[in-house]
Amino acid sequence: MAELFRASEHEPIASVEWDDSRVEAAIRTIVSDAETAFEGTRWPWHPRDGEEDGFSDVYWGGAGVIWALHELGSTGWGDAAVSFIDHYRAQPLVVEYETPMSYSFGELGIALVAFRVTGDPGLADRVHELVLSPIDPDTNEVMNGTAGKLLAAEAMLAWTGEARWEEAWGALADEVEAGRGTDGLWTQHLGKDARYLGVAHGFAGNERALANRRPVEVDAVLARHVLRDGPLANWPPGEGSRPDEIRVQWCHGAPGIVAALGAVMDEELALSGGELTWRAGPLAKSSGLCHGTAGNAYAFLVLHRRTGDELWLDRARAFAMHAIGQVERERAALGRGRYSLFTGDVGVALFLRHLLDGEVSFPTMGPFSA
């Protein structure tokens, strides 16, 4: 029997009843804290985010915080959003596969956010230039590769309706599909060659980017790589992953695969992945989106949308209340919040808003609306 999760990486769910007013208050507190904490050029770096770097980008940095704040109704971020483009150009991340065309870590994502909050036509032109610029074809994933450019083009199409984005999206989609292997997987070159299954760097992310506007067929790959234990299902991070690499996170594992593909994959398999996510419990390491409690709960939102079963809404609400407690405890311990879309508090607030509003789309992954 495969070990589908490690209890040491999770914690018992808090026995806190769902309370709309507390959720709304938590959103307001997180937004207010982020607004106040902005230092004029950046947000403070959190020690749990490792070595200080990437303070401008969508994943770790200011552009991602502004993405969330804008979606949460906070205004007046135009100048700051544009300034992060200059910050990135002055000090880009020096990593082989992280280029200006990177959606999550490069100028593309930063410029996309700046356009979103300003509507500046010049920024739209810059996004278009980056979308059309050559990128390492072997990257083959959403955070750094062509699939990320596909998401940027889709967002611009939704926000502007301009024909040039339809044309760009079609060309990029063809490029992404051409990189798929005969067995349905892509090979990623991210410092080393790998064949990932999850959303952040692999199969599920690429298929999600395509599925926003094209039909996809994902069941054969998911069935071939699934790990089962009765009613539970999980997936390894990638082809050939060791047992000790198994995760239950948005980035790698069942929560992300169900959040990304739960609407288009085999329903029984999706439900089994959701059940695994619930049985494992909230993640102990974080409340956030990429590898935290709130990110995992998007699987429940997708399953509620697909099945109409209130059980999944109740489970999303339970994870939401737990995530609020995690944010509060960590803020009390450090004396301030954690300012990052994918690892920090604003990502949790965006999940809470989506939960209240009946939205199921994981931030940055689409489908996008005007």
Q: What is the pLDDT of residues 320-349, one digit of tens each?
A: 999 999 999 999 999 999 999 999 999 999
- For the entire predicted model, the pTM comes to 0.96
Region 84-111 average pLDDT: 83
In this prediction, residue 59 carries a pLDDT of 95
Helix ranges, the chain (H): 20-37, 62-71, 78-90, 107-118, 121-132, 146-160, 163-178, 203-211, 219-225, 254-261, 267-280, 293-307, 310-334, 345-357
Express each pLDDT in 271-312 by its tens digit. 999 999 999 999 999 999 999 999 999 999 999 999 999 999
Strands 232-234 and 227-229 come out as: antiparallel
In this prediction, residue 137 carries a pLDDT of 72
In this prediction, residue 1 carries a pLDDT of 42
Look at residue 92 and tell me whether its pLDDT is greater than 80: no
- DSSP annotation of 264 reads T
Give yes or no for a contact between 37 and 43, defined as CB atoms under 8 angstroms apart.
yes
In this prediction, residue 37 carries a pLDDT of 97
Maximum C-alpha span of the chain: 56
More confident residue, 263 or 50: 263
